[in-house]
Amino acid sequence: MQHKIGVIRGDGIGPEIVAEAIKVLDAVAAKYSHSFEYTEILMGGASIDACGVPLTDEAIAAAKASDAVLMGSIGGDAKTSPWYKLPPEKRPEAGLLGIRKALGLFANLRPAYLYNELKEACPLREDIVANGFDMMIMRELTGGLYFGERGTEERDGLVTAYDTLVYNENEIRRIAIRAFDIAMKRHKKVCSVDKANVLDSSRLWRKVVDEVSADYPEVECSHMLVDNAAMQLVKDPAQFDVILTENMFGDILSDEASMLTGSLGMLSSASLNETKFGLYEPSGGSAPDIAGKGIANPIATILSAAMMLRYSFDMDDEALAVEGAVKKALKDGYRTGDIMPAEDISGIIQTDTKGMGDCIVERLA
């Protein structure tokens, strides 16, 4: 079956890491008799240079015509790049916000997985991570405090600022359904995180999640207050499978969880809408400090491509094969500079962006 993949190579290390993910996707296509058709889409700084704006209508149309989009990262060095002399709405990052909005991407997925080989990068005590952890943080992306009514005004002679946290039941239901669907492809547990002891929006969140949960009898559903969730993440991260939460709680908890894994170059992410469509990208930025050197870690982008296989194309075996190949490359000692251990360890081999891509392709089972 043919799948259309939009490709935003982006800026900085973007083109280098996307090239390796495409190499892996091509190997998957050959091995499993699939056909991936790639359409190049300009966005961010590359689009500013070519078209004068970070996102064009043509780029949005090309993304909409794709089954999924694979993205590197966009942006440059804020101090030296001419892109940052432009007004905010014309800078590279505006392209990212624009495409998320145009595609209606309301669910952000960030896995946090601890590789046995990279345990030394985890800041938690050894006994806490003895059995590793493997969780998926699912964050609502288009509602809540970041999009509610806000303002700064004078009240009773005092400058006063306010933000409002609003969710309607449909916004909660659609992401809850996504979370339970994803749990069905994982370990069948959803922990919904809220602040239902204080917030009305959280009480509605909890009620709607319970309603959705009734349609998924195989999935164990629990609720946790956000302050407790922040503690449990560092006390016992292995207890979590899918964490489902609203925009701001998810913003904070997903960064906390990603720190537990140790390296930015390993962290994949996906943003989904109501259809099978998704935008898949590494969690890190364009790393202008190492761009063009061929040393960036391509694993986050390759794992994002694996998420695309699983969540947009329902190719679970293929996704597992890519994830397995990444594990094998690490087990065989291959590391890019960012995940090299601080001390000399025998059997560890430093490689570059292309070298890591090749190692992973060679290990596709």
Decide if residue 286 touches ligand NAD (CB under 6 A): yes
Decide if residue 296 touches ligand NAD (CB under 6 A): yes
The nearer residue to ligand NAD, 285 or 333, going by C-beta atoms, is 285
Decide if residue 96 touches ligand NAD (CB under 6 A): yes
- Rounded Cα gap, residues 116 and 353, in angstroms: 21
Decide if residue 111 touches ligand NAD (CB under 6 A): no
Using alpha carbons, select from 241, 273, 289 the residue that is nearest to residue 79. 289
The nearer residue to ligand NAD, 138 or 212, going by C-beta atoms, is 138
- Rounded Cα gap, residues 300 and 127, in angstroms: 27
| 75, two tokens | 């942006």
Residue 13 φ/ψ, nearest 5 degrees: -75, -10
Active site residue 316: no
- Rounded Cα gap, residues 1 and 7, in angstroms: 19
Size of the site for ligand NAD (CB under 6 A): 23
Q: Which helix (H) or strand (E) holds 73?
A: strand 68-73
Query: Is 305 in a helix, a strand, or coil?
Result: helix
> Tokens 């392209």 identify what position?
95
- Rounded Cα gap, residues 88 and 211, in angstroms: 41
170 to 199, contacts with ligand NAD by CB under 6 A?
none
Q: How far is the CB of 332 from ligand NAD (least distance, A)?
A: 19
Active site residue 251: yes
Terminal C-alpha separation, the chain: 21
Decide if residue 278 touches ligand NAD (CB under 6 A): no
User: What amino acid occupies position 57?
Assistant: D
The nearer residue to ligand NAD, 111 or 212, going by C-beta atoms, is 111
Q: Which helix (H) or strand (E) holds 88?
A: none
Active site residue 255: yes
Decide if residue 338 touches ligand NAD (CB under 6 A): yes
| 107, two tokens | 């669910």
Choosing from 57, 126, 156, 289, the residue that interacts with ligand NAD (CB under 6 A) is 289
The nearer residue to ligand NAD, 86 or 225, going by C-beta atoms, is 86
Decide if residue 262 touches ligand NAD (CB under 6 A): no
Which residue stretch of 156-164, 204-212, 272-280, 295-303 sits at the interface with ligand NAD (rule: CB under 6 A)? 295-303
- Rounded Cα gap, residues 252 and 244, in angstroms: 13
Q: How far is the CB of 76 from ligand NAD (least distance, A)?
A: 5
Contact 180, 219 (CB under 8 A): yes
The nearer residue to ligand NAD, 5 or 279, going by C-beta atoms, is 279
Choosing from 74, 137, 233, 356, the residue that interacts with ligand NAD (CB under 6 A) is 74
Decide if residue 73 touches ligand NAD (CB under 6 A): yes
Active site residue 207: no
Decide if residue 138 touches ligand NAD (CB under 6 A): no
Using alpha carbons, select from 196, 304, 175 the residue that is nearest to residue 244. 175
DSSP 199: -
- Rounded Cα gap, residues 194 and 247, in angstroms: 11
The nearer residue to ligand NAD, 14 or 237, going by C-beta atoms, is 14
> What is the 3-state composition of the chain as percent helix, strand, coil, each rounded to the nearest 5?
45, 20, 35
Name the catalytic one among 227, 236, 314, 316. 227
Per DSSP, helices labelled H in 52-120 are: 57-64, 92-102
Name the catalytic one among 146, 189, 332, 358. 146
Active site residue 354: no
Decide if residue 85 touches ligand NAD (CB under 6 A): no
Decide if residue 290 touches ligand NAD (CB under 6 A): yes
Which residue stretch of 125-133, 165-173, 241-249, 278-286 sits at the interface with ligand NAD (rule: CB under 6 A)? 278-286
Which residues here bind ligand NAD, judged by CB under 6 A?
13, 17, 73-76, 78, 93, 96, 264-265, 281, 284-290, 296-297, 300, 338
Catalytic residue IDs: 146, 195, 227, 251, 255
